[in-house]
Amino acid sequence: MSDAAIAVRPVRAAPRGGGLTGLLLVFLPVGLLAWLILYPILRAVIRTLVVQTGTGPALSLETYRFFFTDGYSLANLWLTLWVTALCAVLLLAVCLPIALYLRFAKSRIAALVQGLALFPMFVPSVILAYALIRTLGPNGAVDLVLNAAGLPKIASPYLTPAGPVIGLVWDNIPLTVLMLVAGLGNVSDNAVEAARDAGARPFALLRHIILPQIGNALLVVLSFTVLSIFSAFTLPYVLGPASPEMMGPFMQRTFTDVQDPRMAITQAVITFAICAGFGAFYVRSIARNREASR
Amino acid sequence: MSRRTDWTGILLAAVLGLVIVVPLVVVAIWAFAEVWRYPSVLPQEFGLRFWNATLARPDVWAAMSMSLRLSVTVTALSALICLPAAYAFARLDFPGRNWLFLSFLASHAFPKFGLLVAIAGIFLNLGLISTFWGVVLIQLVGTLMMMIWIPVAAFQSVDRRMEEAARDAGAGPVRVFWSISLPQAAPTIFAALMLSFVGTFYETEGAWLIGAPEIRTMPVLMITFINNQIVVQYGAVLSVLLWVPSFFALLFTRRLVGSQSFAKGFGV
């Protein structure tokens, strides 16, 4: 596949009648998209804002007022914001060096590094959660090794906020590396060689030549990370503390255990609102990319 | 090109190896450990006793059959719905084509679990909570984007000259599609099918939120094993079993995932 494969290229010699056939062929998936993504979001917003009173529907901010005055809800929101920010920073710190290495390396070891960095994509979150408990949990593998070496045990991250952070970073390494490597593909070898010949040190090279050119890719990575981590469920649910909890498990508990769908949907709308900026940026970036490659 | 030893690469490979491979190796060891008491670094006794014990549990078989039924249904439906649409997006010209295609890529622009909760609110009224088809629908949404954009790329990379040659030789449009276009696009489409099968098999959040308590898939069963802290080895054996589909996905889709166009789908 070519690099621009993802863009819909203009159709040459479109067959006659393609208009109707095309619309018919895409009708089902588009309908599904409208019914299961657009409609639920619109309905969630309306359902949480409008209440039925004796005199007809009326605007009500009651559930939102509750969320933003309830200490427990706010603590959960803060924890989620913190974990998301920390994961984003850690992911960039871990993945940028790997991506830079993969972009410029020419040795055979690069294939091994790429394989290892993409491997977590093929490890489902539940298995990862279990593996991290057995490795970093109380009396886990790390404790066994430390104990055998005569060292004290670690403070286990299991059931603390550090648990989901470790798990989410681990889980998001492959896509982050892939996206950064794709972004680094825009940096020309010539520019880098020229700067090197002019005596630029690696750090100056990174700051003045490479970073300015991958600014957009960095922002896309950031948006994508925020969108996927902000409402993560499995890893925070299994590895994280019971209280405060991240928004994912909080919404699930409110919906299933507390059986308060209206409140759960309010929480969901709040996550949409917080992520809206990142989502909009992400969409804009996809749209611009497709314009550029057309 | 220098012939120096690639120390950066060796260092990165070593660190990644330690961080990524070791936790999985620990699980594999647990799966074959019969007795492993603290503080022994390795199990005191190895054996297959817990494989027999795990495989004798009816809930494991029920969950396995549920997961397979869901994955097959979702992948088949997804292929039926998405492949014709992917062909249309790649090759036909119709009003709103770019705009509609963009809306598929944009479906990733929402925090996923929040979206699931919003959908669950609607399913609650429709009586789809805790039903097979409710879970099918929610998992179908998860496969839509991948089953559209990977096949679109596949159909676009088909060699037009061969199609034109076939048409000049008198083949009809269906014949051209069946004998020329489809075989060329098939390997990439197969990879997309594989990814959506495996993605559905491991899908946890929709199954947990929409399926509970009636629909129990393998990942959902795994979470209950972890939470209830029953015999450690059950979870370990289940992890090794659960990883088998992923292993095949790894074999068949590595090239696609490593390619530049895969990252392009995420807007880089």
CA distance A238 to chain B (A): 7
Six-digit token string for B234: 């059950």
> For residue B92, which residues of chain A lie inside 8 Å, CB to CB?
11, 14-15, 18-19, 21-22, 25
Residue B102 confidence class, pLDDT cut points 50, 70, 90: confident
- Would an 8 Å CB–CB cutoff place B109 in contact with chain A? yes
The interface pTM score, or ipTM, of the predicted complex is 0.88
The percentage of chain B sitting over the pLDDT mark of 70, rounded to a whole number, equals 94
Is B14 inside a domain boundary?
A: no
The answer to whether the Cβ–Cβ distance between B110 and A33 falls below 8 Å is no
User: d(Cα B137, Cα B180) in Å, to the nearest integer?
Assistant: 33
Flag whether B205 is in a domain: yes
Is residue A9's pLDDT more than 80? no
Q: Does B114 touch chain A (CB under 8 A)?
A: yes
- Helices B97-105 & A18-33 angle (0-180, nearest 10): 30
If you write DSSP's letter for every residue of B108-145 in order, what string do you get? GGS-HHHHHHHHHHHHHHHT-TTSHHHHHHHHHHHHHH
Q: Which position has the higher pLDDT, A100 or B231? A: A100
Handedness of CA B16, B20, B22, B25 (dihedral sign): negative
Would the CB atoms of B117 and A238 count as touching at under 8 Å?
A: no
**Angstrom distance (rounded) from CA B159 to CA B167:** 13
* Better-scored residue on pLDDT, B24 or A188: B24
Cβ contact B26–A2 (<8 Å) = no
Residue of A8, A156, A256 for testing the chain B interface, max B β-carbons within 10 Å = A8
Q: Please give the tally of structural domains in chain B.
A: 1
Nearest chain A residue to B156 by CA distance is: A5
Look up the domain containing B252 and give its range.
Answer: 58-264
The per-residue pLDDT for B261 is 61
Task: Give the range among A77-81, A230-234, B241-245, B252-256 with minimum mean pLDDT.
Answer: B252-256
CA B40 – CA B33 distance, rounded (Å)? 12
Computed over every residue of chain B, the mean pLDDT equals 88
B236 touches chain A (CB under 8 A): yes
pLDDT above 60 for B165: yes
Lowest-pLDDT choice from A269-283, B71-85, B238-252: B238-252
Residue B189 is encoded by which pair of tokens? 């489409």
The answer to whether residue B242 sits within a structural domain is yes
Residues in chain A within 8 Å Cβ distance of B137: 36
The CA distance from B110 to the nearest CA of chain A, in Å, is: 6
The mean pLDDT value for A71-99 works out to 95
Alpha helices in chain B (DSSP H): 7-16, 22-31, 49-55, 58-91, 97-105, 112-126, 132-156, 160-168, 173-176, 182-202, 205-211, 218-228, 232-258, 260-264
Of residues B97, B102, B246, nearest to A124 (C-beta):
B246
- Taking the C-alpha atoms of residue B154 and residue B61, their distance in angstroms, rounded to an integer, is 37
Q: Are strands A56-59 and A50-53 parallel, antiparallel or unpaired?
A: antiparallel
Confidence (pLDDT) at B3 = 57
User: Is A233–B85 a contact, with Cβ atoms under 8 angstroms apart?
Assistant: no
Nearest Cβ partner of B219 from A6, A126, A173?
Answer: A126
Q: Is the pLDDT of residue B8 over 60?
A: yes
Q: A-contacting residues of B 66-105, CB under 8 Å?
A: 81-82, 84-85, 87-98, 100-105
In this prediction, residue A162 carries a pLDDT of 93
- Any chain A CB within 8 A of the CB of B111? yes
* pLDDT band at residue A6 using 50, 70 and 90 as cut-offs: very low
Instruction: Report the pLDDT value the prediction gives residue B263, as an integer from 0 to 100.
Output: 66
Q: Considering only the beta carbons, identify the residue of A33, A170, A175 that sits closest to B103.
A: A33
Q: In this model, does residue A222 exceed pLDDT 70?
A: yes
- Mean pLDDT in residue range B157-176: 87
The domain that holds B170 is classified in CATH as: 1.10.3720.10
pLDDT value at B205 more than 90: yes
Q: Is residue B226 less than 8 Å (CB to CB) from chain A?
A: yes
Which of residues B229 and A133 earns the better pLDDT score? A133
> Which domains does chain A show, CATH number per domain?
70-128+158-293 (1.10.3720.10)
- Cβ separation B10–A109 shorter than 8 A: yes
pLDDT tens track for A105-144: 888 899 899 989 999 988 999 999 999 999 999 889 999 9
- Note the pLDDT of residue A4: 38
* pLDDT tens, residue by residue, B35-63: 888 888 889 889 999 999 999 999 999 99
pLDDT of residue A294: 60
Q: How many angstroms away from the CA of A55 is the closest CA of chain B? A: 24
Task: State the number of CA atoms in the 13 A half-sphere of A120 facing the CB.
Answer: 28
Mean pLDDT in residue range B181-203: 90
- Nearest-Cα residue of chain B relative to residue A237: B223
Does B13 reside within a domain?
no
Which chain B residue is nearest to residue A228, measuring alpha carbons?
B111
pLDDT tier, A18 (very low <50, low <70, confident <90, very high otherwise): low
Tell me what the pLDDT averaged over chain A comes to. 88
- Answer whether B13 sits within 8 Å of A181, measured CB to CB: no
B32 inside domain: no
Identify the pLDDT of residue B32.
93
pLDDT at position A1 over 50: no
Q: Is the pLDDT of residue A5 over 50?
A: no
Distance, in Å, from the CA atom of A167 to the CA atom of A22, rounded to the nearest integer, reads: 43
Summarize pLDDT for A169-201 with one digit per residue, the tens: 999 999 999 999 988 988 888 888 888 888 888
Is the Cβ pair B266, A112 closer than 8 Å? no
Distance (Å) from the alpha carbon of A5 to chain B's nearest alpha carbon? 5
